[in-house]
Structures are given as structure tokens and as C-alpha cells.
Amino acid sequence: MNHNIFDLTGKVAVVTGANTGIGQGICVALAEAGAEIVGVGRSDMTDTANQVTAVGAKFYPVKADLLSLDCLDKIISGALSAAGRIDILVNNAGIIRRADLADYTVSDWDDVMNTNIRTLFFLSQEAAKYFLENNIHGKIINIASMLSYQGGIRVPAYTASKSAVMGVTKAMANELAPHNINVNGIAPGYIETNNTAALRADPKRSAEILARIPAGRWGKPSDIGGAAVFLASAASDYVNGTTIAVDGGWLAR
């Protein structure tokens, strides 16, 4: 086996939601494997940039709000202008809104669905067109969730959007695999991020969650990095349309 099968030297990865949490962990992991990073986010990404450059990789920030499709051209053109090419797209950006079913608003539903699945699909479409036009063996990695498999509590839009992420990952893979473009997903378990802050701050819910995780702990953003490197590298060239659960054993319980 080629011992450099996970090497990403010379590759450029676009990672959305790069300012913190899972996105930041993925940026650092891909950088450690040799990739240049185009970080996309709506807030300051200085901390991520510092961590990426600390491992000897280049970091190019692109400010964009993924709530609207207006961001698409800015992301693609910004990445190409800064780094000269795109090889990997990681659709990580996502939001969550919590409320009882009876109180859930149209605005919250639309914001979650627009960010988590609408923009994900159409940004993937733009990346795929670029890969096809330039004969690039591209990699698209979509960040799903445990709620791609389960219903959750008080998060109907998030559950709907993340179920859709898993489905559209399969759909895109079916069309793009014949063109040497891999589309796969990662379903993080319960990870220490801003999205789970409310759960971790609730002693009862946190204890219930930890009791079901065989690993016995909340995951860290860095725990997602290995799966991202695998799916971005030549090691996954025959992996298409799958979603890898990185969950400490949650789904196996």
C-alpha cells in the first residue's frame, strides 16, 4: 500500500463554518495532512488561521453568510482567487434552533433549512461544476448528524435538514461517482461545540446523553478530523455515498 495514501499535499480544501467547533477541527486536521485551507465563515476566523499556520499550512479566509445563496459565487471565486484551485469541499456550516413543536416559527424553520441543506446543495453543485469543467478528482464531504438517523427533541428543522443531508449525499454520489468525484458524509455524535452548549449546560440532559455513549465522554472537534482526512484523501477513492458516524458508539448502543 502507498504509505502516503492520506497525504493531501498540493490540495486545496474549502471548509464552511471554519471559525470554531467541528469546522475548525477539520481545518486543522486537513492542514496537518498537507492541504491548504480556504476557511469560510461569517465571523472572525483568526483562531483557526493561527492553528492552521502553526502546522505549516496556508489559510485563506472568505467571509460569507451561508443563510443566503448570495454567498455561492463569493466562496468559489474567493477560493480560486486566493488558492488557485479547489480539490475538496467540506460542507460543515450549520445552525440549530430549539423550541417546542407548538411554538416553532416559520422563520426558524426557514433559517435552519436554508443554511443546513439549501446552501449545502447549491454550493456542492457549484463545486461539482468546477470539478467537471477542470477534470479534477474532487471530494465533497457533507457534515450530517446523529439526527440524520433519529428524531431528536425540540429540533424539528434541524432533524429535517440533517436527514436531508444524508439523503442528498447519496443522490449526489450516484451522479458524480462516474465522473471521479467522491461525495460522502460524516455524522458527528455529541461533540463539544456551540450547538451543544445548551445540552451540556443541562445536568439532566448531559447525564442522559453520556449514559448512552459507550466511550463515556462528549466528543471533541478534533475527533472528526481523522474521518475528514480519510474522505478527502486517496484512501477513500472507492467510497461513494456513505455517511460515517463518529459518535463514540452512540448508534451501536
| Active site amino acids | 158
Q: How many Å separate Cα 166 from the centre of its chain?
A: 12
| DSSP assigned state of 249 | T
- Cα(110)–Cα(157) distance, integer angstroms: 8
> Is residue 124 within 8 Å of residue 165, measured between CB atoms?
no
**Could you identify the residue written with the cell 439549501?**
118
> Is residue 194 within 8 Å of residue 17, measured between CB atoms?
no
Which of 99, 95, 98 has the alpha carbon at shortest distance from 113?
Answer: 95
Which of 116, 96, 153, 146 has the alpha carbon at shortest distance from 247?
Answer: 146
> Is residue 221 within 8 Å of residue 129, measured between CB atoms?
no
CA distances from residue 79 to 38, 88, 176, 228 in whole angstroms, order as listed: 6, 11, 22, 19
Which of 26, 35, 28 has the alpha carbon at shortest distance from 6?
Answer: 35
Assign 56 to helix, strand or coil: coil
- Cα(153)–Cα(150) distance, integer angstroms: 10
Which of 242, 235, 89, 93 has the alpha carbon at shortest distance from 173?
Answer: 242
